[in-house]
Amino acid sequence: MVHPNSESDKEYMSRLKAKKFSMYVFLVVTFMIFAAWSSGFIVYSAGSPDRGLKTLLPTTFIYSTLVIVISSLFMHLAYKASLAANFMKQRLYLIVTIALGCAFLVLQYLAWMHLATSGVVFINNNASQSFIYVFVWAHQLHILAAVIVLLNALFKIDPKKALIKNTFRMELASIFWHFLDILWIYIYVFLLLNQ
């Protein structure tokens, strides 16, 4: 923990706190959007027995869930390495996390292809099935943004610069990545329970 000892240090620390607060606000807003979509899905599906997913989710979703859970483990290891100023391990774990994030995106794409070939398309007479795409595509946009955040953290690792900048960047990246992991598990379980 760095203790500010000058006015500029205090100002810098307050800027970091503001950025962290902004991150939490963003995460709460994101969760509320997904909760609103979940409510919309429930209301629409309950309106008629003809509505509902009426399809089995692709097994690829199981694999992508495992991949993102494992990626969260590596993200945690990368964050711990940053706290210990072990830059080599931090780089390695970040690269693995990014690779697993990309693998998650590929698996999600394969799941979309499976859905499309089985007749579940975005625009159809059953809006419940369209919700699958809304949930998954919105989550994928967030994963893509998180991969960019992780790449930024990776390329800005510099042992010559202040350690607090590195650990703060890693902390924000870690919070964002773990949130997306939990959000995906929520989406997948929600869809499973409603198929």
- What local confidence, expressed as pLDDT, does residue 129 receive? 77
Cβ atoms of 105 and 144 closer than 8 Å: yes
Residue 121: the pLDDT is: 63
> What is the rounded distance in angstroms from the CA atom of residue 7 to the CA atom of residue 150?
31
d(CA 144, CA 45): 30
Calpha distance 116→162 (Å, rounded): 49
pLDDT of residue 106: 96
- pLDDT, residue 1, reads 42
Please determine, looking at this structure, whether the domain spanning 7-193 carries the CATH number 1.20.120.80. yes
pTM of the model: 0.86
- Nearest Cα to Cα of residue 170 among 153, 156, 155, 146: 153
Instruction: Compute the radius of gyration of the chain from its Cα atoms.
Output: 20
Query: Measured at the alpha carbon of residue 102, what is the angle toward residues 189 and 67, in degrees to the nearest 5?
Result: 40
Digitized pLDDT (tens) for each residue of the chain, 195 residues in all:
444 445 566 777 788 888 889 999 999 999 999 999 999 888 888 766 666 677 788 899 999 999 999 999 999 999 999 999 999 999 999 999 999 999 999 999 999 888 888 877 666 776 777 888 889 899 999 999 999 999 999 998 888 777 888 889 999 999 999 999 999 999 999 988 887
Amino acid sitting at position 81:
A
pLDDT at 7: 52
Q: What is the DSSP letter of 103?
A: H
Residue 123 has a pLDDT of 67
Amino acid (one-letter) located at 191: L
pLDDT of the residue at 108: 94
What per-residue confidence (pLDDT) applies to 17? 85
**Interatomic CA distance for residues 72 and 20, integer angstroms:** 19
| For the chain, percent of residues with pLDDT exceeding 70 | 88
The pLDDT assigned to 8 comes to: 67
Instruction: Give the C-alpha separation, 61 to 108, whole Å.
Output: 7
- Give, in order, the Cα–Cα distances in Å from 44 to each of 25, 48, 128, 132: 29, 8, 7, 13
Q: Is 53 helix (H, G, I), strand (E, B) or coil?
A: coil
